[in-house]
Amino acid sequence: EIVMTQSPATLSVSPGERATLSCRASQHIGNNLAWYQQKPGQAPRLLIYGTSRRATDTPGRFSGSGSGTEFTLTISSLQSEDFAVYYCHQYNNWPSTAFGGGTKVEIK
Amino acid sequence: QVHLVQSGAEVKKPGSSVKVSCKASGGTFTMHEFSWVRQAPGQGLEWMGGIIPMFGTPNHAQRFQGRITISADESTSTAYMELTNLTSDDTAVYYCASPATGTTHRKFDYWGQGTLVTVSS
């Protein structure tokens, strides 16, 4: 079973600043990693897949990087609508799959 | 584009069962995969299992072994998740989710609106 660990649990950032979120896999997962954004009361929304590919309608300020076991989601200049919880998701050993515990990005 | 519509909220007694449905529209039902993901109050996302209607054989996370049944009905384009022997720990929002077709990336492009299942005596 692959375990996904996200850090930090909470990230306090001022609007306009850069946010860097980390995700670590317990085993190598190649580039089979996605990131989702979730706002209160809503279903998650796909942002990034294949480590660095933006999903349709994902703004350019979101970027993903990494490979193997270490991955990063960067939001270059936080906008008010970006304050939310972000989850990483590995799908390398499909059909089994796993999410990280989430990082809450809050206003500083 | 696939649209997923789930059944409504449920309140269940401990020890009972719940069956949540997820009706798909758009695309070809049998070519899609349907996974079930749950989220306990204030907690993260947890993958429970999934099915590809074309192949019919479901899979699930080991921790739900013996308690979960995932199925699909092609005639109604509906996927189902049944969870038995419910406890208060099963109180959560249950989502169905599906990847887009035509890609090897099994990420979840489409999500249902979620179904709140409350387990309480």
Mean pLDDT (whole number) for A39-60: 97
User: Are B106 and A94 in contact (CB < 8 Å)?
Assistant: yes
Token output for B13: 């007694």
Q: In percent, how much of chain A has pLDDT > 90?
A: 94
Cα separation, A77 vs A15, whole angstroms: 7
Cα separation, A25 vs A69, whole angstroms: 5
Task: Give the minimum alpha-carbon distance from A46 to chain B in angstroms, rounded to a whole number.
Answer: 6
Query: Considering only alpha carbons, which residue of chain B is nearest residue A31?
Result: B105
Decide if B97 contacts B112 (C-beta within 8 A): yes
Is pLDDT above 90 for B31? no
Token output for A53: 């590919």
Cα separation, B49 vs B28, whole angstroms: 21
Q: Per-residue pLDDT tens for B35-88?
A: 999 999 999 999 999 998 888 789 999 999 999 999 999 999 999 999 999 999
User: Are A96 and B46 in contact (CB < 8 Å)?
Assistant: no
Q: Per-residue pLDDT tens for A1-13?
A: 899 999 999 999 9
Task: Give the minimum alpha-carbon distance from B23 to chain A in angstroms, rounded to a whole number.
Answer: 16
Mutate which of A32, A57, A96 to disrupt the B interface (most B C-beta within 10 Å)?
Answer: A96
Query: Considering only alpha carbons, which residue of chain A is nearest residue B42?
Result: A40
Q: What is the DSSP letter of B26?
A: S
Token output for A42: 């809503």
Residue A53 pLDDT grade (very low, low, confident, very high; cuts 50, 70, 90): very high
Residue B32 pLDDT grade (very low, low, confident, very high; cuts 50, 70, 90): confident
| Arithmetic mean of pLDDT over chain B | 94
Cα separation, A3 vs B72, whole angstroms: 28
Mean pLDDT (whole number) for A72-82: 96
Contacts of B111 in chain A (CB under 8 A): 43-45
B63, burial (CB in 10 Å: exposed 0-12, middle 13-18, buried 19+): exposed
Amino acid A95: pLDDT:
81
Contacts of B95 in chain A (CB under 8 A): 43-44
Amino acid B23: pLDDT:
96
Determine the distance from the C-alpha atom of residue A35 to the mean position of all C-alpha atoms in its chain, rounded to a whole number.
4
Helices (H), chain B: none
Task: Give the minimum alpha-carbon distance from A101 to chain B in angstroms, rounded to a whole number.
Answer: 5
Amino acid A37: pLDDT:
98
Is pLDDT above 90 for A85? yes
